[in-house]
Amino acid sequence: MTETAHPRTATLRARAEIDLAALRANVRTLRARASGAALMAVVKSDAYGHGAVPCARAAVAAGATWLGTATPEEALALRAAGIGPPVRILCWLWTPGGPWREAVEADLDVSVSALWALAEVREAARAAGRPARVQLKADTGLGRNGCQPADWPELVGEALRAEAEGLIRITGLWSHFACADEPGHPSIAAQLDCFRTVVADAEAAGVRPEVRHIANSPATLTLPESHFDLVRTGIAVYGVSPSPELGTPADFGLRPVMTLSAALALVKHLPGGHGVSYGHHFVTAGETTVGLVPVGYADGIPRHASGTGPVLVGGKWRTVAGRIAMDQFVVDLGGDLPEAGAEAVLFGPGDRGEPTAEDWAQAAGTIAYEIVTRIGKRVPRVYVNEEPNGREG
């Protein structure tokens, strides 16, 4: 185990420790689950808050051959950090006037759902003097991005014309599920049917894609018939279950990658009947001790978890007392007196008895995706178990 955490980090106000060995193991576990397909590690939104570049590198070291981002800027940043071909990078959230030319020059795969995007990518390819790698996205039922089946033949036809002109290569046909986290939901079979149809229609028209793909994490974990040539796993790479109903991370052989902790900024006695934090929504029942945890909603700690969020201090679960403020919140220590600087663990893998991101999601009435993704820039990411030589470990 390589400890890259500097000793000084022990005194950090707060830290999000990112266990890259866990991330690599998760990627290997997911590859084994979808052994007939290639694996795309989705590293959008700074790798769900874990840090895009280190996580992308670790995922590639563990055998991911594709990376996925929402925006082209995120994808370009990966290339700028030195993650070059043969690693493929797909970015799918475009708006008119986007950096199409830079994307073509950086050898990104760009997603096209509509004719306006195809027109922009053709122009960019012309300007760049090289063909663009284009993946056509179908809306098979999500009702969000993607081309409706009714408009698909026209989009495919235009794309084939651009391909014949040498301006683009149609590298992929793809789509996205609405309800993959609810196994048995009737939309899943309907979307798979629709996807097979739009792929068959495009191939009959002459498209020869490198990859066809529709599976996100829940589909990768529960729906083998959705794997096709490539699976796009996001949340599972970070060791978080897509939904508590599906199972825990351990049920799928996954390990949470992020551990969020803080150093208590103050420990003190409070008399009974004392209000705590803004609005005095918590009042001490009797004399007690409290600890000041120096992270707040500006750090991504959800204010909706006021009065409910769990924190491990001194081996015991404590509960947020009163409101979570911008920079800090208070936990009731029930008479215990840890020293200032003692570790407060908000969430982690859970095997030291600490809560998990899922526990915080439940406390805040949201999903664990939102908990890890929103941890703010003010919290340093501390990478452990890095392998600087990039070898798989």
Ligand X SMILES: *Cc1c(COP(=O)(O)O)cnc(C)c1O
Q: Which stretch binds ligand X (CB under 6 A): 233-241, 247-255, 330-338, 347-355?
A: 233-241
Residue 216 in contact with ligand X, rule: CB under 6 A: yes
Pick the catalytic residue: 268, 278, 316, 377?
278
| Cis amide prior to 86 (ω within 30 degrees) | yes
Q: Which of 79, 176, 212, 318 binds ligand X (CB under 6 A)?
A: 176
Question: Is residue 242 close enough to count as binding ligand X by CB under 6 A?
Answer: yes
Residue 1 assigned ligand-binding role:
no
Distances (CA, A) of 210 to 107, 109, 229: 15, 11, 8
Partners of 109 in the beta sheet?
90, 133
Q: How far is the CB of 256 from ligand X (least distance, A)?
A: 14
Q: Which listed residue (88, 133, 232, 255) binds ligand X by CB under 6 A? A: 232
The C-alpha angle 306, 17, 238, rounded to 5 degrees, equals 85
**Least distance in angstroms from the C-beta of 44 to ligand X:** 6
Residue 44 falls in the annotated catalytic set: yes
How many chain residues touch ligand X (CB under 6 A)?
A: 12
Structural tokens at position 186: 């009737």
The 10 Å CB-count burial string (b at 16+, else e) for 234-250 is bbbbbbbbbbeebeebe
- Pick the catalytic residue from 44, 48, 297, 383: 44
Cβ–Cβ contacts within 10 Å for residue 208, how many? 10
Helices (H), 133-284: 152-164, 186-205, 217-222
* Residue 29 found at the interface with ligand X (CB under 6 A): no
Does 326 show up as a binding residue in the annotation?
yes
User: In the block, which residue shows the tokens 């979570």?
Assistant: 324
Q: Which one among 47, 62, 92, 152 touches ligand X, defined by CB under 6 A? A: 92
Q: Does residue 42 belong to the site contacting ligand X (CB under 6 A)?
A: yes
Binds ligand X (CB under 6 A): choice among 217, 259, 261, 362: 217
SS3 296: coil
List residues with catalytic annotation.
Answer: 44, 278
Point out which residues bind ligand X (CB under 6 A).
42, 44, 92, 176, 216-217, 232-236, 242
